[in-house]
Amino acid sequence: MPIFVVLIFALSLGFCTSEPEKNPNRDPYSLETLLFLEEVLLDVWENPSAKEEAMSRLRYVCRTKDTDDGYLCYMWGLLEFQRGNYNESYTGFRKALDKSPNDTLYKNMLRIAAEKSGNLSDLKAHSYDGEVLATLSELQKECQEGKTSVYPKFQFLIGRGVFTKESLKRGSFVSCYQSLETSEQTALLKEVKQANVSYKERLIADQMKSDPFTKIWDTSSYHRGDTGKEMVGATSGAVTASVSSTAETNSQSSLSSRSQTLVTDAWRKVKQASISGNEAQAKEALKQFLSEVQSSKKKGKSEAMMATALERAAKLLLEQDPQYVKIRSLAKEL
């Protein structure tokens, strides 16, 4: 059984399942949604006789009951893509993107599905972003075929801010770009705009968005791969719980709530007190941490489960991690 299904099944014990109700304000990654998705995936992967009915249910929920996030539409598109039904896949990804227009994962999958299904013309007419995605696919195909009339598409995409000087020199289109006349290369470089977006930051933002723990814990430095003094949690190789430095970027700020800041700052203080050996200070910080964890438990079922996981992780750190040896006695508080 796929790991993803096993995880969802473990989370679902003790709860009933049903199709999620239509509610734009509901969390798209709620336990209700995950339980419904679990039922669908189990039927699709392990019950051949119920596969088509399960896909029909997922398609129906996408079209009538999915939240503004479009997650279930994305899953419908992904399953159809895996089955080779590229037209259906394209429809699923398009509906997902209609509900969440800024999701880069949805955009990329829509572009790939459009290529596979022959819907690049439809994608180009779909929206401003659709025109960019379709043109990018057309350029990629023409480059692979060794066509020489690619200058207009490079020019269009540069005008839309897709290419930077760095990506033209080192990116996946470098060979195609270098096949242009020297005068054309120079002309294109002059049109390149200063990048106004960090794709690394966008990737991190998407990863944080899809990480359920982001609702109660600042997961930014985990997804950044940060190490060193600003990491808050375990010794390398041990159980890890991390937060970012206090200097937040704009993308982080938009995702981090006040409760996330409070709970992660509280644990940072626990670690700092442990390093200095100040048990009284560590005890006070741990009290604040537990208070914030209890507050998170009151927000919903999924938050309660994740808050309980934080408690258990904190206990393991205090009991086993070398960084917390000076305040090991505080483990009894958990």
Tens digits of per-residue pLDDT, 63-81?
887 666 788 899 899 999 9
Joined together, the tokens standing for residue 152 give 């207009």
Give me the phi and psi of 219, to 5 degrees please.
-95, 10
Joined together, the tokens standing for residue 140 give 């990629």
Q: For residue 94, what pLDDT band results from cuts at 50, 70 and 90?
A: very high
Q: How many CB atoms lie within 10 A of CB 301?
A: 13
What is the phi-psi region of residue 320: left when phi exceeds 0, alpha when psi lies from -120 to 50, beta otherwise? alpha
Domain count of the chain? 2
Task: Give the model confidence (pLDDT) of 251-264 as tens digits.
Answer: 444 444 566 778 88
Domain ranges, residue 53? 3-117
Closest CA to 143 of 188, 184, 173, 168: 173
Same domain, 108 and 204: no
pTM: 0.50
| Length of the chain as a residue count | 334
DSSP strands (E only) in 39-114: none
Joined together, the tokens standing for residue 147 give 């066509």
Same domain, 213 and 308: yes
Same domain, 113 and 213: no
The identity of residue 212, as a single letter, is P
Q: Which of 117, 141, 169 is the last residue of a domain?
A: 117
Q: How many CB atoms lie within 10 A of CB 204?
A: 22
With b for 16 or more beta-carbon neighbours within 10 A and e for fewer, the 72-93 pattern comes to bbbbbbbbbbeeebbebbbbbb
d(CA 235, CA 142): 50
With a cut of 60, say whether residue 324 has pLDDT above it.
yes
